[in-house]
Structure 1
Amino acid sequence: MKAFFSPHHAGHRPSQTFRHGRIVPNRDLPARADNILSALRADGHTLLGAAPHGMAPIAAIHTPEYLDFLRHAWGEWRKIEGASEDVFPYIFPVRGMDHGYPTSIVGRAGYHMHDCWAPIGQHTWDVATDSANLAVEAAEQVLAGERAVYALCRPSGHHAFADMGGGNCFLNNAAIAAQHMRQRFARVALIDVDVHHGNGSQGVFYRRDDVLFVSLHRDPVDYHPYFAGHAHERGEGNGRGFNLNLPLPKASGDEAFLAALETACVRIRAFEAEALVVSLGVDAHEADPTEGLKVTYDGFRRIGARLAGLNLPTVLVQEGGYNMDTIARCVAGALAGFEGRETTAA
């Protein structure tokens, strides 16, 4: 399989984040992508850089105000006397009282970030646009006739809305790929298998009927992102019925996940999707520090194989996965399962 990556991803290296009332080390380390890359190389995937595709595919998903904020946030933040090294929002709009748009970078940070889990550093904008460009390149390859292409995106994207980032996400790589695929395919399905609900992806497509969004994830009643991902969320307006959430109880393993995946695949078939985008998070693994679900290595292989069974032109976009010892094998196994072979990743 062709796999696209960028050597510049390591420029985004947030050292810390905010969790349970404490400043703690950030889990989104460059080693996540480096380890995956080593496994892809060992498995014989064709590793490639992406041609530049400009801002148009990104701007097709994200608002001008949000993109301007991301581009200039770090520089404006650093002008504040005594400011932190990275941009950390600390004041957020009150529900129902967000009618104004602030000019201060402090206000804009709270307006455009929905949590404190996506610190913006000096190179975040460049790295995030580079990551999104990988997803566009993968979509371009599928539009040109490839059956399946993988994009090693870092930072991830599925928590990014049209005008908000959060959860280590800034630009929604999978949504950008899905929108790009609409150039040729009338109906695109976007399925998210990350342990966390893809709230940003849901938000982007919630009122649309041309992109079906399906998410399998740990039940958000007591898990991030808490406020989205519930089964009753089915879309609005033209999008009513084109959003499917399949929340799973804590510690659900392979069989429960694969049963939900079968439900997802039935819905994708009923939608008559012409192409597929996969948000390939692997933090549902039993040893991931997010402690959400208990999917095994073999479970990820079976997930890849079932998605391949849809027999659709497919873009696979990297999302989460935070155990440095397991992430590479999980991703390699899912891709091997998709291709109907074994992985050599240890």
Structure 2
Amino acid sequence: MKRIILMLLCCLSLTLLRAQEGVRFESLTFEEALQKAKEENRWIFLDAYTSWCGPCKVMAEQVFTLAKAGVFFNSRFVNVKYDMEKGEGPELAKKLGIGAYPTFVLIRPDGVVHDKLVGGMDVDGIIQRVEHSMKQTETVGTLAVRYEQGERDKDFLLKYLRALSDASEVRRLREVAGILSGQLTDIEKIDSTCWILFDNNDLAPFHSENYWFLLAHRKQFSQQVGQEKVDRRLGMLYTGVLSSIVWGRDTKTTFADVQEIGKVIRTLKTDDKKRLLAYVSLANAYKEKNTSELLKISKKAFPVFSDADVMMMVMPVSVYFRTQEDKAALREFIPVGRTVVPNLKIQENVNYVTYYFDELEKQM
């Protein structure tokens, strides 16, 4: 009798332990996962991550370890995860069209990709998104099948384009956008339904055909989607361009281009105008390799910069001063760099900036 009770208690303990565990990711190759899903008539839940991706780590350590996640995913899916930069990861990233991390791929038992969910979220958020996606008939995966079968009408291409954008499938996104643009008249392009062609860095980068079209038809776009959206789009685009210049990544944008960007920014109706013009001044000084001017502008701009500016301007300007052989300028710049800290609301940024300038000061 005692033996039976002991066995029952062991079984109960094992059941409770399993109920409390998180998502069980199996050590399977992709082909093995496909085979198992087919044999067991279950979907695949694939976590595509990288070692450097912060949100990926949060998902792995704080979301997928929760019992609630385990209860949902373990009973429904063959769960697998792959580092997209190791083993079969790079080939999988290419095969599945993965361009952002984390990406969670839902694959049906027949091996057809159903959907891709991009970005980190809490446990309730991912469960809701997966449940919602599984009920949909028009997802990035199902639309891909129709596209590959030759469907090309405008409404379909627009729908597919939005799904590709959500899934961060850049290569196919550009391909579909090119086909759609070839079917549209200029009047149709300005319609609000086609705003995605211009409100996207991959489809309307600086100096692209879509960028120039947007500039040439700003008034019409503003009437269609609202001036706030148009001005915000241009502001975000220029932020990226100017930041890339100061990081030293963009060597193609000329001094004249920066001047032209400044002219457009002055016409924007946005609260960010002063900040953006500071970006223009910093980019100009960087282009001229004018250390004293860069220091002068930093003294004015840094005290009003906030979290959004840390990686866009504060750090690239800091890198510039750090790599110059002018130690006097660097010594003068360090306290200027610290003036951004009081405006930072994100503690990680406070820690990062403080640590960076502390270490820089130690090297002096």
TM-score, shorter chain, exceeding 0.5: no
Higher radius of gyration, 1 or 2:
2
Please state which band the TM-score falls in when normalised by the shorter chain: 0.3 to 0.5
Higher relative contact order (CA 8 A, sep 6+): 1
The alignment's TM-score, normalised by the length of structure 2, stands at 0.31
Q: TM-score, normalised by structure 1?
A: 0.32
Per residue, is there more helix in 1 or in 2?
2
